[in-house]
Amino acid sequence: MLRNKISMAVLLAISLFAMVSSPFTLADTVDNPGDFVITATSGYIKVGTQQFNINPDSPPSIGGSVDTDGIVTIPISGIEFPDTVISVPLIGDITVRMEPQGDAMGALNPITGEANFSISLKVRLINSLLGSNCGIGPINAIMTTGSSGSLVGVLYDQSLGTATYVNNEFGVPRSSGCGLFGSIIDSFARLPSNPPNNEILLNVQYDPIITGS
């Protein structure tokens, strides 16, 4: 019985130490919790053979909140990607619209600079020749300031409020809902596209700057 009590005490002590040592659990790493907006100042999204560069005049933005433990919550309404246009043979100009598929979650440690968030997007393809449900996805990716495949991010800098998020490990399925033009779209973009042929790289600015100590 005494041995069991000692074992339980040791396990409890280890568990408490792990909770306190975790950078995102009960750590109080964030000094100014609350709402924030991330603006992508540059970067790109590559799906198959098609690369969409970030337009600094009309950048994507992600609005969410962070608590004192560095837990990040991003509602679907806070994820905004501007439309872009590509030209596809036999179809013409197609408006490409990134549509978030749900809320996002993540973590931010302003002290170490480690940060991540999950995101799920569907690429809506809009043209009068295509069906109303023509698109690609959903595409699920975990963005990180660390390494992902061959891409290496840049840790969050709490003096500047900047970071670089990357992902090089997500797959992209064939198009769907595009009728007879689906095969043309898939051939044009080389879909389906497996890792590491797809990439996301976002250089971002936080507003306000999230700090920790």
Q: Which of 170, 177, 172, 178 is nearest to 196 (CA)?
A: 170
Structure tokens at 173: 């399925």
CB of 104 within 8 A of CB of 136?
Answer: no
Structure tokens at 89: 């043979």
Q: Which domains does the chain possess? A: 27-207 (2.40.160)
Residues in the chain: 213
Question: Which residue is listed with tokens 């790109």?
Answer: 44
Three-class SS of residue 21? helix
Angle at 143 between CA 44 and CA 22, to 5 degrees: 155
Entry pTM? 0.85
Per-residue model confidence as pLDDT tens for the chain (213 residues): 434 433 434 333 333 333 333 344 445 899 999 999 999 999 999 999 999 999 999 999 999 999 999 999 999 999 999 999 999 999 999 999 999 999 999 999 999 999 999 999 999 999 999 989 999 999 999 999 999 999 999 999 999 999 999 999 999 999 999 999 999 999 999 999 999 999 999 999 999 999 999
Phi, psi of 149 (to 5 degrees): 60, -130
What Cα–Cα distance (Å) separates residue 1 from each residue in 4, 5, 8, 162? 5, 6, 11, 55
